[in-house]
Chains A and B, each alone.
Chain A
Amino acid sequence: MNLPTLHSRLPKRSLLFIAVALFFLSFVSAWYFRAQPSIEHQQKLLQNYVTRQLKDAGKLLRDTNLMRKLVLKTESLNEFQNLYKRDFGVFLFAETISDNQDLLFWNNQKILPPTADFSLKDGNYFQHLDNGDYVVAKTTLRFAGMSNNIIAYVLIPILNKYYVKTEYLLTSFVHSEDAINKISISDAPTKHPIKSINGKDNLFFIKEVSHANVGTTDLLTIVLRLTALLFLFIYTSLVS
């Protein structure tokens, strides 16, 4: 749209109408975000994150050809880099007779390898490690021609939490940096569970942090109100 047509399509009074409309919208958005409590929104975000990662991990582990290559250490650099870029950690342990842990593959240094527990059933669990909390997906892989079972662990980081807090080592949720100000992981069951991929099993629970400021106006409302003010200013400048 060129400028002359813009002018003809936007007479002065329309600025006032836009300002009023934006103010109205800001109240609607403020009402919407207040009506939808922060914790439910965060629960939804976290659940989406966990489900997405679990689906991705499941898809990866079903690729038996790749898994076989990883065990035999014949994967290409491209395949390796593809795994390296994942947000979750993949650890492949070989099951040995002496129950020794034989780590064959790992794709991440920041995610700690879990303690291999071969007696544990395949499934999804929530686990606390030294540098944070994880959702662990354990899968036993069997390959034709191989006598040993391979145990695959996928560790989806949920919360980074180090033994000490520094400028670099901050406690933060992986799915959203801002979430730590709103929710925390609860030791006891709450009304806000994060479920496994089947939608039935509870993996862990979250709770609202006690100091969360629920009454805070959301960013969208603020932007709408500021824009409305701007239009109002322009209008008053033009009509005076």
Chain B
Amino acid sequence: MLIYRSEDFFSFRRFGLFDPAVYSVNAVNASLGDLLINSVLLCWIVLFTWYSISPEQKNPKYLKGIKLYGAGFIAIFILIFSTFQFANTVRSLVSDSKVSFDVINFFGLDIFYTATGFIILALLALTYYYFTRLLFRFIFSAFRDNYTYIYFCLALIGLLFLTVRSGNSIVLFHLPVLLWLILYTLIVSQERFIINRFKITVIGAVFWIFIFSVSLAAIILQGNRLSELRIRKAIAEKYDRMADPTTSYQLSIAIAYLDNRFLLNNFHRFKNAEQSKFLRDSILREDYTSYNIKYDTRIYVFDSSNQALNNGDTRSFPELNTIFSVQSKPTGIPDLNYLETSFDRITYILRRVVKDNAKTVGTFFVVSNPRQYGSDALYPELLKQVSKRDDENSPIYSYAIYSDKKLKSSSNKYPFPITISNEQIPKGEVDERTNDGFDELWYRASNNKVIVIARQRQSLLESITLFSYLFCAFLLMVGLLQLISVILKLFRERSSFNFLAQFSIRSQIQGTVIFISVLSFVIIGAATISFFIDRYNRNNVDKLSRTAGIMVNELRKQLSDTTAFNANLSDSANSYNLQKLVNEVADIHNADVNVYDLEGNLQVSSENEVYQKGILSKQMHPLAYYHLSRLREVQYVQKERLSSLDYWSIYATVRNANGEVVQYLNIPSFTTQIDLKQEISNFLVTIINLNAFIFLIAGVIALFITNKITQSFSVIGDKMREITLGKTNEEIVWNRKDEIGELVKQYNKMVHQLEESAEALARSEREGAWREMARQVAHEIKNPLTPMKLSIQYLQKAIDSNHPNVKDLTAGVANTLIEQIDHLSKIAADFSQFANIGNKKIELVDLHQVIGILVDLYGSNPKVHIQWNKIFGSVVMKADKTHMNRVFTNLFANAVDACQDKQVCDIKINEVQNDGVITISVKDNGEGIPEEMRSKIFTPNFTTKTSGTGLGLAMTKSIVEQAKGNIWFETEEGRGTTFFVQLPVIS
């Protein structure tokens, strides 16, 4: 965070994403980019913590009793506080930013900012989910006995927290959030019983995504409502200002320097035609530039005898003077008056009397008339200075302006009443009303002026669409994290990495179903939008062709009625006639019209300014000229581009009665594409909604399919796991003749074969075992018999030779015989135990109890030091207690025997529990096992000791494997040996 905040390090502030004007709440979230970075970092930290602290891991040991309750309470408080903060951040992102979440108005969205907004929301939701899961670990541990206390604490602490908060709106917003939190806790607390499996499957993720999408959609809807109200109020204020003559400050700036001194010094120039033209042009260009776009501004100059000075217009001094003195009203700016020609059309008129001391030199008028543009005209769009995304241009709003309770002006998309009653006038500044599926905002601009802004009410559609957007954004985010996790695994795993092996069959099927639905969405969407655009373009060209055809006919007819057609158009009168004609035609058809001569030079245009000011040259478009002039085509339509503005332009030939081409007509047509965008927007909204539901349906179907398939696999897997040699294994009953049926058939066949093989093997093994046992017993018995026989022979010899110490010798021989007989007895006992391994009595055994007794027993030996690192609680498994006792007795005995030569025998016992399996290791500080002996260590009858049968470890291994466990060892010569016993436990 410190790094990215360093201005020089990244220079993020130069990017639009980091513009505080788009979004800014506080110093931490100073922009949308900052919020994005903070969300990413927070998400990373929380996920990092979540995966570092394994979900199954238990709480720290010191968290017991009162401390655990304390931790639980603190966690509840943090949970409430973080939930409110999370909700606040989401709401501020929607209502306090310029990022649009008005998803129904698709083309009103700034895709980049809105997409960033949704990514941030997805990150925040993910962070919140894992953060709360971390908190719940402490909360659930503290209130293990009764979860009801949790809900009660949440409600109590939450309400207390809200009590100390000021601000009615905040409390009203947080109350439903608190209720949501209690419901969320309820679902999470029930998870272990109902939806525990959701943790590990795609469906689990989809479930939580569904929950968060619905929750966030609710908050965003509320934020959107606030934001949209502000927009509508701003639009109403704008309409109010548009019809307000006091906003003529722009003109006041423009006319500031047209004072008496300037006009007096330059007055003589108005008398010269050429200099007058230059000066007028200069004034309009320099001072009225921004105003020129909205207003058609003309300058009229009259001398002291009120004679016009090169005005180029027929307006006379008396006419203008009457308008200024009688018809118009003062604006408050000296010499500037306004004339209300209609409710929303105001003409400004400036009069400056130019004086030289007391003597009047002349009069200077500037008249600014509001321009009227056709809806399809190109040039207004080109010269427009408002942003394309300005809400006032949005097609979703309708407006009505009432003055003295009568409708003065309105858009024609909504049936506004012609008059309003006193009761309908809002009491305050604004009033919200609903009317027949529309939301209306009534804005009282003044006592007699009311502005109404209406918008179609689409709450249900908006909710569904918002949900769909969030759902898709979350799915993408989860998919991305899954990908990152796989990549991290790639680096983490030492063994060979198989990409597909990372996903279970269940995930693969669910992923494929979802992928297919996404793919179909993309293909159908792209194809349909392409079809819309194509059809729209075709319609445009058709419409343009029809308009051009009508215009050509009109021009031909009207031109043939006048002399203008065949006359020399350089003649000013004819040129004026043609200009008038073109203007009329352009007005009727709401379009711009240009007429070119056969050389491709512009003759007249309905919008001369574009050519006079050099935005485009007065030559005809070269490609169109080539087609009409050289290729002799009657009509040519093409898409043209000026800067980033694309528009259609049609060129047609105007022919005389003899069929000779006399002129070229051009109509550039710009349609704001609102209809097309609206159509595509509606389609996209529908398809996104549909797709979100397809996601859900596909998810549910995938759940059923995968459950069915994996259930079959699980049954087969369980049966296979239970297969044991030497007992009758159950067949699987499968009635359907599908692929799994074939698998089951093969399995059943295999079970039969296995039984036969097992029987044969058992028979062979039994015989072999008997032979081995007989050999072993013979060998073991033979060993003590030899010293016994030798001792008896020695005693016999002594008796025969009357040895004097016969008595002592007899005692010695007797001792030897007793010792050997004891040895024979031990051998017999060992074999007896080994033979009894198969006879087991399964019960619940606490391994800690078994090991504890042995630790006490061996620990009583002063030479032996035992260190036992046991895990918290008891370790229960299903096994024969005597067998388990034998396993650890053998391991302990071996450990003690291994360090016989050492002064101190250190035995370390460690335990690790994971996924229902416990691994217990017994480590000694003996000499270790030599390399050559390691492979035989578990073989019966193998021993490194001077005494013993060598059956201990063989017996241990056999017992562990019978208990479905595993045993292995690690050894280092001179340092010691560690035996690991892995056993399944009941968690």
Is the pairing of A and B real?
yes
* B-binding residues in A (CB < 8 A): 3-4, 6-7, 10, 12, 15, 73, 77, 80-81, 84, 103, 106-113, 129-131, 160, 162-164, 166-170, 213, 215-217, 222, 225-226, 229, 233-234, 237-238, 240
- In the complex, the 4 A-B pairs of residues with the closest C-beta atoms, listed nearest first: A130-B614, A217-B11, A131-B614, A168-B643
Query: Quick one: closest A residue to B384, CB to CB?
Result: A166
- In the assembled complex, the Cα of A80 lies from the Cα of B614 at a distance in Å of 24
Contact assessment for B615 and A131 in the assembled complex, using a CB-CB cutoff below 8 Å = yes
Contact assessment for A164 and B289 in the assembled complex, using a CB-CB cutoff below 8 Å = yes
Expressed in whole angstroms, the minimum distance between the Cβ of A120 and any Cβ of chain B is 20
Q: CB-CB < 8 A to B497: which residues of A?
A: 3-4, 7
Q: CB-CB < 8 A to B643: which residues of A?
A: 160, 168-170
27 inter-chain pairs at a CB distance below 8 angstroms, sorted by A residue, are A3-B490, A4-B498, A12-B492, A15-B491, A73-B630, A80-B626, A107-B622, A108-B622, A109-B616, A109-B619, A109-B622, A110-B616, A110-B642, A130-B613, A130-B614, A160-B643, A163-B614, A164-B383, A166-B382, A166-B384, A169-B383, A217-B8, A217-B11, A222-B11, A225-B9, A238-B491, A238-B492
- In the assembled complex, the Cα of A213 lies from the Cα of B11 at a distance in Å of 11
Expressed in whole angstroms, the minimum distance between the Cβ of B50 and any Cβ of chain A is 12
- In the assembled complex, the Cα of A119 lies from the Cα of B799 at a distance in Å of 156
**Does B315 have its Cβ within 8 Å of any Cβ on chain A?**
no
Query: Quick one: closest B residue to A213, CB to CB?
Result: B14
Contact assessment for A216 and B491 in the assembled complex, using a CB-CB cutoff below 8 Å = no
Q: CB-CB < 8 A to A110: which residues of B?
A: 616-617, 642
- In the assembled complex, the Cα of A110 lies from the Cα of B927 at a distance in Å of 94
Expressed in whole angstroms, the minimum distance between the Cβ of A161 and any Cβ of chain B is 10
**Does B293 have its Cβ within 8 Å of any Cβ on chain A?**
yes
- In the assembled complex, the Cα of A73 lies from the Cα of B600 at a distance in Å of 14
Query: Quick one: closest B residue to A104, CB to CB?
Result: B599
Expressed in whole angstroms, the minimum distance between the Cβ of B33 and any Cβ of chain A is 12
- In the assembled complex, the Cα of A170 lies from the Cα of B615 at a distance in Å of 11
Query: Quick one: closest B residue to A132, CB to CB?
Result: B614
Contact assessment for B488 and A237 in the assembled complex, using a CB-CB cutoff below 8 Å = yes
Q: CB-CB < 8 A to A229: which residues of B?
A: 3
List B353-394 residues whose CB lies under 8 Å from chain A. 381-388
**Does B292 have its Cβ within 8 Å of any Cβ on chain A?**
yes
Q: CB-CB < 8 A to A160: which residues of B?
A: 643
Query: Quick one: closest A residue to B614, CB to CB?
Result: A130
Expressed in whole angstroms, the minimum distance between the Cβ of B495 and any Cβ of chain A is 9
Expressed in whole angstroms, the minimum distance between the Cβ of A100 and any Cβ of chain B is 12
Expressed in whole angstroms, the minimum distance between the Cβ of A20 and any Cβ of chain B is 15
Q: CB-CB < 8 A to B387: which residues of A?
A: 167
Contact assessment for A113 and B491 in the assembled complex, using a CB-CB cutoff below 8 Å = no
Q: CB-CB < 8 A to B499: which residues of A?
A: 3
- In the assembled complex, the Cα of A233 lies from the Cα of B761 at a distance in Å of 57
Contact assessment for A164 and B293 in the assembled complex, using a CB-CB cutoff below 8 Å = yes
Contact assessment for A7 and B293 in the assembled complex, using a CB-CB cutoff below 8 Å = no
**Does B567 have its Cβ within 8 Å of any Cβ on chain A?**
no
Assess A217 versus B491: contact at CB under 8 Å? Given A109-B616, A110-B616, A166-B383. Answer: no
- In the assembled complex, the Cα of A84 lies from the Cα of B617 at a distance in Å of 15
Assess A217 versus B613: contact at CB under 8 Å? Given A80-B626, A167-B384, A168-B645. Answer: no
**Does B575 have its Cβ within 8 Å of any Cβ on chain A?**
no
Q: CB-CB < 8 A to A216: which residues of B?
A: 11, 14
Q: CB-CB < 8 A to A112: which residues of B?
A: 614, 617
Residues 636-663 of B, flagged 1 when their CB comes within 8 A of A and 0 if not, give 0000001111000000000000000000
Contact assessment for A215 and B623 in the assembled complex, using a CB-CB cutoff below 8 Å = no
Query: Quick one: closest A residue to B643, CB to CB?
Result: A168
Residues 450-494 of B, flagged 1 when their CB comes within 8 A of A and 0 if not, give 000000000000000000000000000000000000001011110
- In the assembled complex, the Cα of A124 lies from the Cα of B500 at a distance in Å of 65
Contact assessment for B617 and A109 in the assembled complex, using a CB-CB cutoff below 8 Å = yes
Interface residues on B, range: 35 or more
Q: CB-CB < 8 A to B493: which residues of A?
A: 7
Contact assessment for A168 and B626 in the assembled complex, using a CB-CB cutoff below 8 Å = no
- In the assembled complex, the Cα of A169 lies from the Cα of B385 at a distance in Å of 10
Q: CB-CB < 8 A to B630: which residues of A?
A: 73
Given A7-B493, A103-B601, A166-B293, 7 more contacts at CB 8 Å? Answer: A6-B490, A77-B631, A84-B622, A108-B617, A169-B382, A169-B615, A222-B11
Q: CB-CB < 8 A to B872: which residues of A?
A: none
Q: CB-CB < 8 A to A234: which residues of B?
A: 488, 491
Assess A168 versus B490: contact at CB under 8 Å? Given A3-B499, A109-B622, A225-B9. Answer: no
List B486-521 residues whose CB lies under 8 Å from chain A. 488, 490-493, 496-499
Q: Which of B388, B616, B623 contacts A84 (CB 8 A)?
A: B623
Expressed in whole angstroms, the minimum distance between the Cβ of B392 and any Cβ of chain A is 15
Q: CB-CB < 8 A to B617: which residues of A?
A: 106, 108-113
Contact assessment for B619 and A113 in the assembled complex, using a CB-CB cutoff below 8 Å = yes
Q: Which of A4, A12, A167 contacts B388 (CB 8 A)?
A: A167
Residues 596-618 of B, flagged 1 when their CB comes within 8 A of A and 0 if not, give 00011100000000000111110
- In the assembled complex, the Cα of A169 lies from the Cα of B621 at a distance in Å of 19
- In the assembled complex, the Cα of A98 lies from the Cα of B600 at a distance in Å of 21
Contact assessment for A240 and B616 in the assembled complex, using a CB-CB cutoff below 8 Å = no
- In the assembled complex, the Cα of A225 lies from the Cα of B620 at a distance in Å of 52
- In the assembled complex, the Cα of A70 lies from the Cα of B221 at a distance in Å of 64
Expressed in whole angstroms, the minimum distance between the Cβ of B672 and any Cβ of chain A is 13
- In the assembled complex, the Cα of A168 lies from the Cα of B387 at a distance in Å of 10
- In the assembled complex, the Cα of A75 lies from the Cα of B116 at a distance in Å of 52
Contact assessment for B626 and A77 in the assembled complex, using a CB-CB cutoff below 8 Å = yes
Expressed in whole angstroms, the minimum distance between the Cβ of B48 and any Cβ of chain A is 6
Q: CB-CB < 8 A to A162: which residues of B?
A: 613-615
- In the assembled complex, the Cα of A217 lies from the Cα of B285 at a distance in Å of 39
Contact assessment for B491 and A10 in the assembled complex, using a CB-CB cutoff below 8 Å = yes
Query: Quick one: closest B residue to A73, CB to CB?
Result: B630
Query: Quick one: closest A residue to B496, CB to CB?
Result: A4
Q: Which of B48, B383, B496, B620 contacts A109 (CB 8 A)?
A: B620
- In the assembled complex, the Cα of A84 lies from the Cα of B625 at a distance in Å of 12
- In the assembled complex, the Cα of A110 lies from the Cα of B499 at a distance in Å of 56
Query: Quick one: closest A residue to B388, CB to CB?
Result: A167
Query: Quick one: closest A residue to B612, CB to CB?
Result: A130
Contact assessment for B9 and A217 in the assembled complex, using a CB-CB cutoff below 8 Å = yes
Expressed in whole angstroms, the minimum distance between the Cβ of B595 and any Cβ of chain A is 15
- In the assembled complex, the Cα of A92 lies from the Cα of B371 at a distance in Å of 38
- In the assembled complex, the Cα of A111 lies from the Cα of B615 at a distance in Å of 9
Expressed in whole angstroms, the minimum distance between the Cβ of A182 and any Cβ of chain B is 13
Contact assessment for A163 and B388 in the assembled complex, using a CB-CB cutoff below 8 Å = no
Q: CB-CB < 8 A to A169: which residues of B?
A: 382-383, 615, 643
Most buried by B among A107, A112, A170: A112
- In the assembled complex, the Cα of A167 lies from the Cα of B643 at a distance in Å of 9
Expressed in whole angstroms, the minimum distance between the Cβ of A116 and any Cβ of chain B is 13
Assess A7 versus B613: contact at CB under 8 Å? Given A84-B623, A163-B285, A229-B3. Answer: no
Query: Quick one: closest B residue to A111, CB to CB?
Result: B617
Q: CB-CB < 8 A to A222: which residues of B?
A: 10-12
**Does B161 have its Cβ within 8 Å of any Cβ on chain A?**
no
Expressed in whole angstroms, the minimum distance between the Cβ of A226 and any Cβ of chain B is 8
Contact assessment for B10 and A217 in the assembled complex, using a CB-CB cutoff below 8 Å = yes
Q: CB-CB < 8 A to A167: which residues of B?
A: 384-388
Most buried by B among A15, A130, A131, A166: A166
**Does B29 have its Cβ within 8 Å of any Cβ on chain A?**
no
Q: Which of A15, A108, A130, A166 contacts B385 (CB 8 A)?
A: A166
- In the assembled complex, the Cα of A163 lies from the Cα of B383 at a distance in Å of 11
Contact assessment for B44 and A233 in the assembled complex, using a CB-CB cutoff below 8 Å = yes
Q: Which of A3, A111, A163, A225 contacts B10 (CB 8 A)?
A: A225
Expressed in whole angstroms, the minimum distance between the Cβ of A140 and any Cβ of chain B is 21
List B281-338 residues whose CB lies under 8 Å from chain A. 285, 289-290, 292-293
- In the assembled complex, the Cα of A166 lies from the Cα of B382 at a distance in Å of 7
- In the assembled complex, the Cα of A108 lies from the Cα of B385 at a distance in Å of 26
**Does B52 have its Cβ within 8 Å of any Cβ on chain A?**
yes
Assess A109 versus B621: contact at CB under 8 Å? Given A131-B614, A213-B14. Answer: yes
Q: CB-CB < 8 A to B52: which residues of A?
A: 240
Expressed in whole angstroms, the minimum distance between the Cβ of A181 and any Cβ of chain B is 10
- In the assembled complex, the Cα of A162 lies from the Cα of B626 at a distance in Å of 27
Expressed in whole angstroms, the minimum distance between the Cβ of A193 and any Cβ of chain B is 26
Q: CB-CB < 8 A to A170: which residues of B?
A: 643
